[in-house]
Amino acid sequence: MHELGMCEGLVDLVRQQADGRRVTGLRVRIGARHAVVGEAFDHAFALAAEGSAAEGAALDLVVTPVTVDCGACGHQSESVDVLAVCARCGDDDVDVRGGDELVLESVQFKDGSALESDRFEEEADVPRDPR
Ligand SMILES: [Zn+2]
């Protein structure tokens, strides 16, 4: 349930930005390497947000792909599966890069204002090789 740790970090960031305002929605960009399950993430967020300004806020989760470099044929592809194989030859001798970001992209407040930013990137603790 590593989703909960990430969500607690996110709620912290949201709280800092909210400055007492009620949060109605937020958009989070997350790398495929985190391998989060949307539903589990929703639950974890609801749990982490309980009692905070973000309680009940709508969560929009955007998964960004990893880059897959094939060691067999040299083909480069993208995938949202960290255990990806080469999209061309199917070899699993691949180097998976990127997809490890966790970014709070935007926050909407009840008063109608919104924040759009890439500034709130969280340093995520991700194992370099998920295999
Ligand atoms: Zn290949």
Q: pLDDT tens string for the chain (131 positions)?
A: 589 999 999 999 999 889 889 999 999 999 998 888 889 999 999 999 999 999 999 999 999 999 999 999 999 999 998 888 999 999 999 999 999 899 999 999 999 999 886 555 554 444 444 44
- Which top CATH class is 2-119? alpha beta
CA of 50 to the centre of ligand 1 (A): 46
The pocket of ion ligand 1, defined by CB under 5 A, consists of 70, 72-73, 75, 86, 88-89, 91
| Residue 98 CA, ligand 1 centroid: distance in Å | 18
Contacts of 62 (CB under 8 A, 6+ apart): 27, 28, 29, 30, 105
